[in-house]
């Protein structure tokens, strides 16, 4: 039998870090609020007992306003864990303990973990933990989840208290309001979590149904009169803070040093109203320069780390490809088998795998910015721009996550309280360029913008952000009209990124990429190979990848839709149409499909690396304008099937979902058409 522990605390209090340490999990950890947006479960063993740990979304209060807050509240009240582990950021004790005073009103054992004690003590601060425990009437343990400090003591405390019967209490009994709470509580004697619901009734403005309605209303009116007609919700919140300040915050002995913190000094520059946005753009450009530049630090013939690693991996893949082809010849494989394995699966996967180093380098930069605390500042900097277009800076976090993958980014939009803002954010996420699209830009742009690939790809990312913001402005002033929402966000302290966390994050990205390559991509490659090597009568073609293939007939049949966009023109335009459509399976499939459909051309170029041969094939089949058009279309069109499925689940209705998909299809076509014609005029 396992013991269920509900892990609960404010956003960015270190819950996910503690969860990972206790369960040996590898959940994403970010130095910003809202990293956890759904509950996660894991296990650990202590003294032959199995602890089932449930990591709940971070919340500031048990009065929920957003979907993830509702998840946490409902779990506590309905699923009734054996014990609550309340994570409190000791560097923000006063604000964090507000939630603790609410948890005390639930009929469940509680252990309070004062996290980040290392940072607290490094500032020469001290706290009387024993007295704090006595004042709260709860066991309190000081820990540092990131440094593994105090975790054994924490587990010991949980073990000692999980089975203890605990009577709910409230700090409000220390004030005049306590007598009204007692009167109201007596009316509902014996119910589950009785005290919590009693105070909830006192705060509520709604009428109370049932036999006790008149008595409840009478008590509430007397309580309101006691506090001169002030709204009871405001009164109760104020009394909670009064208790915290008098009995908890007062136990902290702060350092006499009045020096300005390092975070404050850095923020004067990075969040400056004039410098903040340019600095953010420079940081983003530097990321792309290190990842994609062929002239690193603007030195001719000096490749960036990303390009160097990409060329290294590509050489290895090409050498392995030669070995595979030779092995197939030696065992006497049939021509179609050689074509499928060597020219299909191996060539398709190789076209994508060679860009894995660049994808990981970009993810590494993003992880460093997250872990350091800078991304929270970036959302603050961009809030003013977002607000003018109908969003708040809070939407920036999910949109930024979209640079990695659209699926978790859409799920992260649950942290946005305003429903219309949440819908708009979900609609905008696909315009952010996910990691799977990187090989598309790199292959296409390398063929036409040699020496400027980093700048062009940076421009594509910025274009996606601009289209997202303009789309928000359009929707905000038409179908999604709403009042402006206020954005309040806690600024986490700057910290050195944790090397272990960074490496685990990169490993998870690599493992996910390999898993996708071994399942979805191979399936897509086999399907594309079949469609491009057989005709409509399912006869194997003598000339593969021709317009007479099934894929050729389909591509030519619908390419009129894409002809105005430039990339569908010409004899081989159907290949680009087919590649773009394959991206619905997975965006990596776009490059694997191009690699397969141009395999005949690639094979005719002897002794050339795969990407160079594909580059040559693309240069002979596209213009610069159509190449830019193809990249922009893949940036803006509907995402992969996994992301579309997530969008369906996260949006409020089927109608909203279908309109969202239609909106993205229209926007991608219109913007690509405009870009193609502008570039055609310029070049």
Q: Which residue intervals of 92-193 are DSSP H helices?
A: 93-103, 117-122, 129-136, 151-161, 177-186
pLDDT tens string 376-395:
788 778 777 777 666 666 77
Spatial separation of the C-alpha atoms in residues 545 and 552, rounded to whole Å = 7
Q: Give strand pairing partners of 115.
A: 89
List the Cα angle 111/69/391 in 5-degree steps: 140
Reading the block at residue 309, the tokens are 């690693």
Q: What percent of the chain is predicted at pLDDT more than 90? A: 30
Average pLDDT of the segment spanning 518-535: 84
The answer to whether the beta carbons of residues 380 and 271 sit under 8 Å apart is yes
3-class DSSP state of 7: strand
- Rounded CA-CA distance 555/575 in Å is 7
Residue 589 has which token pair?
């499939």
Pull the structure tokens for residue 510: 């690599």
Q: Round to whole Å and give the CA distance between 508 and 406.
A: 16
Which two tokens mark 329? Answer: 């010849």
Sign of the four-CA dihedral 514, 520, 522, 525:
negative
The burial of 554, by beta-carbon neighbours within 10 Å (0-12 exposed, 13-18 middle, 19 or more buried), is given as: middle
| CA–CA separation, 289 and 70 (whole Å) | 42
User: Which range is most confident: 25-29, 87-91, 303-307, 335-339?
Assistant: 87-91
CA distances from residue 425 to 399, 472, 618, 628, 653 in whole angstroms, order as listed:
7, 8, 35, 26, 16
581-596 pLDDT, tens digit each? 999 988 888 988 888 8
For the chain, the C-alpha Rg in angstroms (whole number) is 29
Distance CA 55, CA 533 (A): 50
Query: What pLDDT does 131 receive?
Result: 95
Question: Where is mean pLDDT largest: 199-208, 266-275, 394-403?
Answer: 266-275
Residue 355 to residue 542: CA distance in whole angstroms: 32
Q: Are 632 and 463 in contact (CB under 8 A)?
A: yes
Q: What is the DSSP letter of 338?
A: H
Q: Quick one: pLDDT at residue 325?
A: 77
Least confident among 354-358, 379-383, 473-477, 625-629 = 379-383
Beta bridge partners of 44: 51
5 in helix, strand or coil? strand
Cα separation of 375 and 34, whole Å? Answer: 12
Vertex 430, ends 70 and 385: CA angle to 5°?
80
Q: Which residues contact 206 (CB under 8 A, 6 or more apart)?
A: none
Say how many residues make up the chain: 683
Number of Cβ atoms within 10 Å of the Cβ of 447: 22
Q: Distance between CA 129 and CA 375 in Å, rounded?
A: 33
Residues 6+ apart with CB under 8 A from 83: 3, 4, 5, 6, 108, 109, 110, 111, 158, 161, 162
What is the average pLDDT across 10-16?
A: 85
Give me the chain's average pLDDT, please. Answer: 84
Handedness of CA 444, 448, 453, 458 (dihedral sign): negative
Q: What are phi and psi of 536, to 5 degrees?
A: -65, -20
Structure tokens, 193: 């979590």
pLDDT confidence of residue 34: 46
Contact 20, 117 (CB under 8 A): no
Distance CA 14, CA 144 (A): 9
| Cβ-based neighbours of 401, under 8 Å, separated by 6 or more | 408, 409, 412, 429
26 pLDDT higher than 80: no
pLDDT tens string 623-669 = 999 999 999 999 999 998 888 998 998 887 889 999 999 999 999 99
pLDDT digits (tens, 9 = 90+) for 429-469: 999 888 889 889 988 888 899 888 889 999 999 999 899 88
Handedness of CA 502, 506, 507, 508 (dihedral sign): positive
Tell me what pLDDT residue 73 has: 86
Residue 327 confidence (pLDDT): 85
Contacts with 230 (C-beta within 8 Å, 6 or more apart), sequence order: 224
* pLDDT for residue 609 is more than 50: no
Q: What angle, 0 to 180 degrees and rounded to 10, lies between the N-to-C axes of helices 374-388 and 453-476? A: 50
Band of the pLDDT at 564, cuts 50, 70, 90? very high
Percent of the chain with pLDDT over 70: 89
Shortest CA distance to 170 belongs to which of 191, 185, 160, 155?
Answer: 185
Q: What is the dihedral of CA 319, 324, 327, 329, to 10 degrees?
A: -100
Task: Classify the C-alpha dihedral 67-68-72-75 as positive or negative.
Answer: positive
Between 81 and 418, the more confident residue is 81
CA-CA distance, 302 to 447, in Å (whole number)? 18
Instruction: Return the closest-CA partner of residue 418 out of 398, 400, 402, 395.
Output: 395
Mapping DSSP onto H, E and C, the string for 195-247 reads HHHHHHHHHCCCCCCCCCHHHHHHHHHHHHHHCCCCCHHHHHHHHHHHHHHHH
Strand blocks (E) in 232-385: 252-253
Structure tokens at 659: 């309109």
| Range name among 309-313, 558-562, 576-580 with the lowest pLDDT average | 309-313
DSSP-derived secondary structure letter, 618: H
Distance separating alpha carbons of residues 395 and 386, to the nearest angstrom: 8
- Beta carbons within 10 angstroms of residue 129's beta carbon: 16
Q: Which of 64-68, 126-130, 554-558 has the lowest mean pLDDT?
A: 64-68
Q: Name the helix (H) or strand (E) containing 407.
A: helix 406-412
Q: What is the pLDDT of residues 359-381, one digit of tens each?
A: 888 888 888 887 888 887 887 78
Is residue 664 within 8 A of residue 460, CB to CB? The reply is no
Q: Report pLDDT digits (tens) over 168-180.
A: 999 999 999 999 9
**pLDDT value at 33 more than 50:** no
Distances from the Cα of 618 to the Cα of 266, 279, 443, 567, angstroms: 46, 36, 9, 11
78-92, 360-374, 602-616: range with lowest mean pLDDT: 602-616
pTM, 2 dp: 0.72
In sign, the C-alpha dihedral spanning 522, 527, 528, 530 is positive
Helix (H, G, I), strand (E, B) or coil at 252: strand
- The pLDDT-based confidence of 561 (bands split at 50, 70, 90) is very high
Residues forming beta bridges with residue 4, ordered by sequence position:
52
In this structure, are residues 445 and 591 in contact, taking their beta carbons and an 8 Å threshold?
no
Pairing of strands 49-55, 2-9: parallel
pLDDT beyond 80 at 100: yes
């Amino acid at each position: 039998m396992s013991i269920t522990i509900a892990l609960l605390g404010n956003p960015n209090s270190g819950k996910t870090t503690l969860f990972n340490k206790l369960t040996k999990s590898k959940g994403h950890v970010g130095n910003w609020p809202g990293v956890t947006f759904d509950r996660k479960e894991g296990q650990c063993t202590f003294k032959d007992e199995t602890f089932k740990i449930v990591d709940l979304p971070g919340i500031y209060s048990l009065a929920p306003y957003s979907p993830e807050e509702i998840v946490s509240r409902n779990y506590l009240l309905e699923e009734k864990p054996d014990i609550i582990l309340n994570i409190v950021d000791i560097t923000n004790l006063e604000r964090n303990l507000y939630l603790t005073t609410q948890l005390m009103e639930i009929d469940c054992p509680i252990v309070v973990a004062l996290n980040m004690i290392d940072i607290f003590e490094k500032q020469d601060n001290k706290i009387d933990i024993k007295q704090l425990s006595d004042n709260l009437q709860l066991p309190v343990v000081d820990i540092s989840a990131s440094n593994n400090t105090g975790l054994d003591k924490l587990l010991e405390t949980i073990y000692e208290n999980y089975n203890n019967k605990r009577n709910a209490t409230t700090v409000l009994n220390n004030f005049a309001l306590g007598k009204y709470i007692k009167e109201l509580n007596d009316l509902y004697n014996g119910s589950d979590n009785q005290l919590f619901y009693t105070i909830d009734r006192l705060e509520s403005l709604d009428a109370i149904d049932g036999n006790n309605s008149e008595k409840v209303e009478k008590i509430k009116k007397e309580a309101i009169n006691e506090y001169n007609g002030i709204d009871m919700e405001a009164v109760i919140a104020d009394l909670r803070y009064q208790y915290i300040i008098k009995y908890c915050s007062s136990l902290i002995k702060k350092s006499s040093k009045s020096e300005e913190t390092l975070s404050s000094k850095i923020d004067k520059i990075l969040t400056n109203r004039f410098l903040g946005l340019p600095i953010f753009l420079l940081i983003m450009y530097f990321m792309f320069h290190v990842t994609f530049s062929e002239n690193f630090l603007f030195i001719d013939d000096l490749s960036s780390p990303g390009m160097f690693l990409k060329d290294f991996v590509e050489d290895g893949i090409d050498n392995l490809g030669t070995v595979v082809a030779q092995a197939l010849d030696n065992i006497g494989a049939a021509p179609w088998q050689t074509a499928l394995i060597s020219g299909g699966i191996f060539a398709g996967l190789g076209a994508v795998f060679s860009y894995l180093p660049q994808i990981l380098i970009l993810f590494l930069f993003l992880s460093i910015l997250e872990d350091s605390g800078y991304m929270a500042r970036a959302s603050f900097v961009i809030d003013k721009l977002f607000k003018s277009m109908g969003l708040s800076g809070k939407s920036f976090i999910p949109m930024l996550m979209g640079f990695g993958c659209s699926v978790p980014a859409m799920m992260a939009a649950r942290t946005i309280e305003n429903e219309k803002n949440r819908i708009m954010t979900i609609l905008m996420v696909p315009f952010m360029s996910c990691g799977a699209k990187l090989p598309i830009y790199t292959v296409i742009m390398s063929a036409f913008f040699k020496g400027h690939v980093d700048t062009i790809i940076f421009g594509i990312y910025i274009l996606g952000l601009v289209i997202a913001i303009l789309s928000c402005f359009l929707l905000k002033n038409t179908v999604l009209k709403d009042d402006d929402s206020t954005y309040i966000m806690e600024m986490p302290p700057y910290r050195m990124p944790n090397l272990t966390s960074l490496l685990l994050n990169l490993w998870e990205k690599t493992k996910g990429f390999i898993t996708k390559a071994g399942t979805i991509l191979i399936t897509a490659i086999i399907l594309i190979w079949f469609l491009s090597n057989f005709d409509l009568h399912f006869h194997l073609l003598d000339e593969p990848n021709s317009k007479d293939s099934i894929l050729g007939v389909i591509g030519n049949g619908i390419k009129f839709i894409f002809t105005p966009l430039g990339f569908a023109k010409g004899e081989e335009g159907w290949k680009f149409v087919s590649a773009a459509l394959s991206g619905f399976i997975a965006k990596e499939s776009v490059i694997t499909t191009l690699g397969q459909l141009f395999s005949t051309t690639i094979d005719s170029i002897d002794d050339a690396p795969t990407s160079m041969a594909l580059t040559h094939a693309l240069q002979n089949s596209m213009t610069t304008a159509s190449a830019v058009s193809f990249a922009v279309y893949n940036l803006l069109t509907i995402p992969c099937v996994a992301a579309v499925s997530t969008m369906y689940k996260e949006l409020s209705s089927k109608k909203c979902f279908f309109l969202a998909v239609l909106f993205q299809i229209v926007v991608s076509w219109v913007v690509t058409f405009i870009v193609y014609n502008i570039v055609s005029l310029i070049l």
